[in-house]
Amino acid sequence: MHANDAREATVRALFPLVRQIARRVRRMVAGVDIDDLIGDGAIGLLRAVDNFDPARGPSLEHYASRLIAGAMLNGIRRMDPVSERARRAVRDGENERYRLAAERGYVPSLQEMDRIRPGYLRALSAAYRHTPLSLDASLPENERLVLHRHEDPAAIVAARSRRAALHALVDALPERQRRLIREHYFDERSLREVGARMGVSAQRASQLHIAAMTRLRRAVHAAPR
């Protein structure tokens, strides 16, 4: 078979993979046009077929999947009115904020985070200004989350993976520790209130909290990177 014919046959055989990944990305990133995703993904597929080296290890399908998804995400980023620098500042600030929350037992304010990471509030405001449903709205008081609809799509996938891993770690805690962590962090109740609901003293609730956080930290450090 001629080289060009073989290339075209390979592209045709793998093209359903482009549609499959496009549907997956569209479920994660609302508002994008699936035809645009397929168009960008097709470019990624062509690059994969042309640059594939079987000596490097991964199969062509695995290699193509990475390039297809990367091409789609790059296409979405090009349409994003917020700069990648601002997105990165928001991501890094949010990661730092929740790390501090896990250490302290409460979520730092936006103002404190801006002192820790100068420019964080400016980047966060830029992201919110380009939210279609609230172009002129100021940031809500004590707001903690960046709207996922306009985050970097790669960050959305990573954040969902981290959340799933965190929930799995919490689920693995002993029953009383698990209940305390869920009510304190997910339901936003104070340790004193959670202790009262569990029928234990505030001191005991604090001890359970420390034990649970110690287990979680150990589990996080032990997890494969």
pTM for the complete prediction? 0.40
197 and 214 housed in the same domain: yes
88 and 131 housed in the same domain: yes
End-of-domain residue from the set 36, 57, 78: 78
End-of-domain residue from the set 129, 150, 171: 150
Total domains in the chain come to 3
Residue 198 pLDDT: 92
- Exposure string of 66-103, with b = 16+ CB inside 10 Å and e = fewer, is ebbbbbbbebbeeebebeeebbebbbebbeebbebeee
The phi and psi torsions of 140 (rounded to 5 degrees) equal: -60, 150
The pLDDT tens digits of the residues spanning 29-63 come to 766 788 888 888 899 999 998 888 888 777 888 88
Give the span between the Cα atoms of 222 and 45, in whole angstroms: 36
| Average confidence score pLDDT of the chain | 77
The pLDDT tens digits of the residues spanning 81-101 come to 666 677 788 888 888 887 888
Neighbours of 123 (CB within 10 A): 23
- pLDDT over threshold 70, residue 161: no
Q: Provide the token pair at 99.
A: 């790390």
Residue 156 pLDDT: 55
**Which domain range does residue 218 map to?**
152-225
